[in-house]
Amino acid sequence: MNLFVLAGMIGPWQIVIIVFVIVLLFGGKKIPELMKGLGQGMKEFKKATDQDDDKENKDKKSTDK
């Protein structure tokens, strides 16, 4: 079954159940720490992709001359 079809079937009750299970697994105190780590990881990923784009642009400019 296609992933996009499954994503279209997720409703508000399923989201509530998923959040409830996450709270049960990790506990209320651990979730902010997990979100902070996720945010830092996303920031590092974006920084790395921006640096990679800058490097490609420099390489392209140097070969155009």
8 sits in the region (left: phi over 0; alpha: psi -120 to 50; else beta) called alpha
Higher pLDDT, 51 or 1: 51
Q: Looking at residues 18-39, what average pLDDT do you find?
A: 86
User: Would you say residue 9 has pLDDT above 70?
Assistant: yes
User: Would you say residue 42 has pLDDT above 90?
Assistant: yes
Query: Which pTM value belongs to this model?
Result: 0.49
Q: Where are the domains of the chain?
A: 3-64
2-6, 7-11, 13-17: the lowest-pLDDT one: 2-6
